Every structure is written in C-alpha cells, then in structure tokens.
Homo-oligomer: A and B are copies of this chain.
Amino acid sequence: MKQDDIAWLQCISCHTTYSLNYKGYVCEKCGDLLDIVLDLERVKVRDWQVFRERPRGVWRYHELIPVDPSRRVTLNEGGTPLIECKKLSRWAGLKKLYIKFEGVNPTGSFKDRGMTVAVTKALELGVKGVICASTGNTAASLAAYAARASLPCITVIPEGAALGKVFQAIAHGAVLIKVKGSFDQALRIVFSKAEELGYYILNSVNAWRIEGQKTLGYEVAEEVSGEYNIFIPVGNCGNIAAVWKGLTELKNLGLVEHTPRMIGVQAEGASPFAKMVEEGWETLRPVDNPQTIASAIRIGRPVNWKKALRAVKESRGDAIVVSDKEILEAQTAIARLEGLGVEPASAASVAGVRKAVEKGVVDPDEATVCICTGHLLKDLNSELFKPKALIEIEPNEEELVRGIISMVL
C-alpha cells in the first residue's frame, strides 16, 4: 500500500490537506502548523502482538510511521527504560513514580526519536542537505543522523548553548554557525536561508519530528496500565504534543483503554505556555528574554504551543511552573536517590510532580511517569552540584585519608 493512502499532512486550523511529499512546514493557505494524520481504519494493527515480536525502539511501530521503513536512517533510538523510583516517589510525596529515561538514546536525548524519522523523510524527499537552529540537543541529534545518512548538515547555534551538545555537533561534522544572539534570531536565519540553499529545516515545526517523538507515548502506554499521569518538560512545546499524539492514536486503535493526563512543566523564567494554561488564555504571549538554568527549555516563543494546548485540554491535563532552585533540587534528588543522571531540563518534570502534589493538582495515589529528556553529561555546568565531600591530597598523604573520611561520612 502506498504511504499516501494511509496518511496525509493536514493544517491544524483550516484543515487543508497536503500529500506526504509536501516539502513545506506550514499551511500555504493560513500559515498554521501541520499535523500528520493517519487513517487508522486502514492501518493494519489490531493488537500489540505485531509490535512485541520486534526489538524495542522507534521502528518497532513502523506501521504507524508513514515513511518507508526499509530506507530508515537509524542508530537504534528509543526503547528507553521506564525505571521505578521508590525513594524519589517518597521525596515527591507520591505512591508510585517512574522515570522514562531518554538520556540513553544514541546522542543522549529524546531528539533522536524525531530525527530518525525526519532524516529518513529528508532522504525520501531528496533534499540537498539539512539545517536547524538549536540550543544544543537538536543540533547534536541532527548532526549525528545527517552523518549516518551522508547528508550535509548546518546547525545554527545561539549564545549560551551547553558545551557537550555543541561538541557533539562538531564531532559529527556539521557546519556550525554561531550567532551572537538568541534562539529566535538563530531560527530566523535558518528560515531566511534554507530554501535558497535547498536545505530541509529540521526544527520541531517539522511535523516529521513529532511523528518520531510520538513513539515515546507508545512506549509508555505499552508499559504502564490503569490510571496515570505524565509529567513532561515543555520548551518549544513539541514533545508534549508528540507524546499525546501517540497516545491518542493508540486509544483510537483500541490498543489502550486509559490515556493519561498530560502535565507540562516549565521553568519560571521561560513559562509562556504554563502562563497561558493557568490564565485560560486562548493565545500565547511570548516571553522576549527567557531565562532559566535549564537551557534545553529556555525558549520564549514556543512554535508548537497550539498542539501542546490541544494535548493539555484533551487529556484534562495541566501546566506547572517550577523555579530554577526547584529544578536543581530535583536534579540532585534524581542523581543521589536513584543513580540516574539527567540534565536540568529533564529534572523539571520531577520538580513539577513534587509541586503538583503539594498543590493538590494530582492524586498522590495515581502512578506518575516523568519524562526525563536528556542525559546529565549533556550539560556539564560545574556550578550545578556541590560535591558531597571533596578532598585533595598528595599521594604520600594517604595517612590523612582515614581521618578525613571519618569526618565526612
């Protein structure tokens, strides 16, 4: 069956449809975002069995991803663990807390789920190269998948991107354009130059990214049953929309009975989406100079806010704001209570749970899944952690060790 028979692109506002080979990013008529819509009646999946016979990961679900799986550009992304965290759940005041640990993806973040699909699509479309603006994780992931696909890659990086992520983009051979300005300015450069270059834009405005990231929702649903909540960091608003898209598809296919509440978590200094939800506004009011230690969600004009708002509304979800201090406390708790190393943006989800329990937003008896989006090693900001104890000695001072250790333990 041709992919176009089972899926198409569709404007989220005026519902104009486009074939899967449409190279644009937004609706030609009204300029709004596009969804990829699957004709679930024609998708030949009626139970979990077909998936379970395959290895875990994004491509386990290929019937629900309308690109040609035989040409996939993959580094074995997805299939990340769902880890029960008993000590952390007590810390947050909950009965049962799981971390979905996306840091073990190939480049260390959930972005790989979107890139495996979107770069596969880029090859199908026959583009000359790929380009993105990025605070880091997107650039690292795109550079890796472009390398695997032998596609030229340009990454446009604003000020303040995390060290490890820029290092990855360089290592994987991307051309690096550093802009002495914000993410929004970097994105403007991308949009002004991509067409002229014949390069395909792989920011999260690209619906194929969302199409890969939705598998995060599939995986959670495969592993958790009954009533539960999902807490997820929100920056550009793409991932919360993607996870909800995945869950909705499963519900419509009859593969799950319950869908969870989607609760988005933003950092205080970069929280236009949470503000909108809280105030009941119907339109996002951008934040001009977003500030937070969690660089991966330091975004003031989230592109996908409409899709994210739909996710929160349809799931009877919510949005929570946490301070940088609360994020760092959560990051330390995750690392020291459970042995999981996550970057600050990831820890926002756990900080959000604790706050939501305090505020009575969620029932502490319901299971909660926190999406932790990227690895600790992504953001080596040495000011983040105080060592529990640090002792510096000369090799011949070993006799001191016993005494010092007994003081600090």
CB atoms of B377 and A108 under 8 A apart: yes
Contact A179 B395 (CB under 8 A): yes
How far is it, in angstroms, between the C-alpha of A375 and the C-alpha of B108 when the chains are bound?
Answer: 9
Among A101, A108, A178, A339, chain B packs the most CB atoms within 10 A around the CB of A339
A248 to chain B, nearest CB (A): 26
Q: Is the CB of B335 within 8 A of A147?
A: yes
Interface residue tally for chain A (C-beta within 8 Å): 81
Interface presence of A188 (CB below 8 A): yes
Closest chain B residue, CB of each to CB of A131: B405
Q: Which of chain B's residues has its CB closest to A106's CB?
A: B104
User: A357: CB under 8 A from chain B?
Assistant: no
Please judge, given known A-B contacts A147-B338, A148-B338, A172-B341, whether A188 and B377 are in contact too, CB under 8 Å.
no
* Known pairs A179-B395, A197-B402, A390-B176; A376 contacts B171 (CB<8 A): yes
A52-83 interface code vs B (CB 8 A; 1 in, 0 out): 00011000000000000000000110000101
Q: Given the complex of chains A and B, what is the CA–CA distance between A396 and B338 in angstroms? A: 46
Q: A101 and B76 in contact (CB under 8 A), knowing A189-B401, A336-B147, A395-B189? A: yes
Interface centre among A154, A172, A176 (most CB of B within 10 A): A172
B residues in contact with A107, CB < 8 Å: 341
List residues of chain B with CB within 8 A of the CB of A87. Answer: 150
- Kindly state the separation between the CA atoms of A378 and B103 in the bound complex, as whole angstroms: 13
Contact in complex: B170, A391 (CB < 8 Å): no
Known A76-B81, A76-B83, A164-B380; judge A175-B405 contact (CB<8 A).
yes
Q: Is the CB of B164 within 8 A of A164?
A: yes
Q: Find chain B residues with CB under 8 A from A376 CB.
A: 167-168, 171
Residues of A325-368 contacting chain B, CB below 8 A: 331-332, 335-341
Complex CA distance for A392 and B55, rounded to whole angstroms: 43
Residues of chain B within 8 A of A144, CB atoms compared: 335, 339-341
B175 pairs with A394, CB closer than 8 A: no
CB contacts (< 8 Å) of A103 on chain B: these are: 106
- Nearest B residue to A382 by beta-carbon distance? B167
A409 interface contact, C-beta 8 A? yes
User: Would you give the 0/1 interface string for A315-328, flagging 1 where the beta carbon is closer than 8 Å to chain B?
Assistant: 00000000000000
A175-B75 in contact (CB<8A): no
8 Å CB interface, A381-406 against B? 382, 384-385, 387-395, 398, 401-402, 405
In the assembled complex, the Cα of A101 lies from the Cα of B79 at a distance in Å of 15
Given contacts A176-B389, A389-B176, A392-B180, contact A197 B167 (CB under 8 A): no
Q: Can you offer 11 A-B residue contacts whose CB atoms are under 8 A?
A: A55-B56, A101-B106, A106-B340, A147-B339, A164-B164, A167-B380, A168-B341, A174-B388, A179-B394, A196-B402, A377-B378
Bound-state CA distance A375–B149 (Å) is 20
In the complex, what's the smallest C-beta–C-beta distance from A129 to chain B, in angstroms?
A: 7
Q: Measured between C-beta atoms, what is the minimum distance from A309 to chain B in Å? A: 29
A393 CB contacts on chain B under 8 angstroms: 177-180
Residue interface mask A124-147, B partner, CB < 8 A = 1: 000001000000000000011111
Check: A43 CB closer than 8 A to any chain B CB. no
Contact flag A405-B148 (CB < 8 Å), given A104-B106, A389-B175, A389-B176? no
**Partner pick for A152 among B178, B197, B409, CB 8 A cutoff:** B409
Contacts of A167 in B (CB 8 A): 376-377, 380, 382, 385
Instruction: For the complex formed, measure the closest distance between the CB of A406 and the CB atoms of chain B, giving whole angstroms.
Output: 8
With A75-B83, A391-B178, A393-B177 as given contacts, are A339 and B148 in contact (CB-CB < 8 Å)?
yes
| Residue A254 is within 8 A (CB to CB) of chain B in the complex | no
In the bound assembly, the distance between CA atoms of A131 and B343 in angstroms comes to 26
Ranked 5 nearest A-B pairs via Cβ? A148-B339, A76-B81, A181-B395, A144-B339, A377-B377
